[in-house]
Structure 1
């Protein structure tokens, strides 16, 4: 939760209202992630530096999109609640974390993520890693939906 709170505070300082108007993500969300075996962390020198929930299969939050996904497949990897502790900022850990997700889920070809329209840092990371903006989904408000399809 410390990583989530650190990221929440960083977003606030940046003037981004993501994670500001509600308790989401809350301790209950993280506990559910752990219970469902979808909670992942990135450690640096033995300390948790980043967190994300990584799920496989169909994500109902991505069923309705204003725009279009690059394909109609229902078996993909979704990454939610990506957070990097401010204690580790400037080390390209968001990029490193997502790259490790590709490696961990190497049997998948399709990766999907959403982010707040004002979260330019995450948009930069996603674009740099080859994600394409596909449209808008509703997940704690309107969010830009990104997809990366790996070539066979």
Structure 2
């Protein structure tokens, strides 16, 4: 079996990252979720993630199998929550824009990806990790809960009902 690990994304990874993001957008659409159906994340957003050194790729051997953004700055969308965070006023990382290539689905690689992102958060000195997803994104909710995150409430990433996200937190 090939080595499975994460590394920081670089600019030349962008075409493959966009391919994976577009596959995820199609899957979300097929599942009936409006998440990621408004044009974002797009190339500009992901280029910024790469330039800010927040974008990570899941590698299987020499092939990019997934992508995620790990922010180590406060997410302004998390300032207001209909509910309660487990921690308040504590620095945290946030997992955003996580997606796995259709070529690698069904291999439980998302578990490796989450594990590596959690470990990376700890290495960076953070013991609190947050993530959100749309209420109709059942796949992601399953992965989030499977990896120990607790539901905390609803945050808004954009106006309107489609902008509501179920917010989760993991305190290590």
TM-score range, shorter chain: over 0.9
- Aligned partner of 2:60 in structure 1 is 44
User: What whole-Å deviation, never above 9, does each CA across 1:34-75 have from its counterpart, x for those lacking one?
Assistant: 111101010113111111110113211110101010111241
Contact 2:149 2:169 survives alignment (8 Å): yes
TM-score, structure 1 as length reference: 0.94
Q: Does residue 1:133 correspond to 2:151, yes or no?
A: yes
Q: Does residue 1:84 correspond to 2:106, yes or no?
A: no
For 1:86 and 1:15, locate their aligned partners in 2 and report how far apart those are by CA, in whole Å: 18
1:1-152 correspondence to structure 2 within 5 Å: 1-20=18-37, 22-106=38-122, 107-140=125-158, 141-150=163-172
For 1:64 and 1:122, locate their aligned partners in 2 and report how far apart those are by CA, in whole Å: 22
For 1:93 and 1:73, locate their aligned partners in 2 and report how far apart those are by CA, in whole Å: 32
For 2:135 and 2:103, locate their aligned partners in 1 and report how far apart those are by CA, in whole Å: 24
Query: What SS is found at the alignment partner of 1:105?
Result: helix
User: What whole-Å deviation, never above 9, does each CA across 1:78-125 have from its counterpart, x for those lacking one?
Assistant: 011111111111111222111101111223110000001011111111
RMSD after superposition: 1.1
- Aligned partner of 2:11 in structure 1 is none
For 1:61 and 1:27, locate their aligned partners in 2 and report how far apart those are by CA, in whole Å: 21
Contact 1:57 1:74 survives alignment (8 Å): no
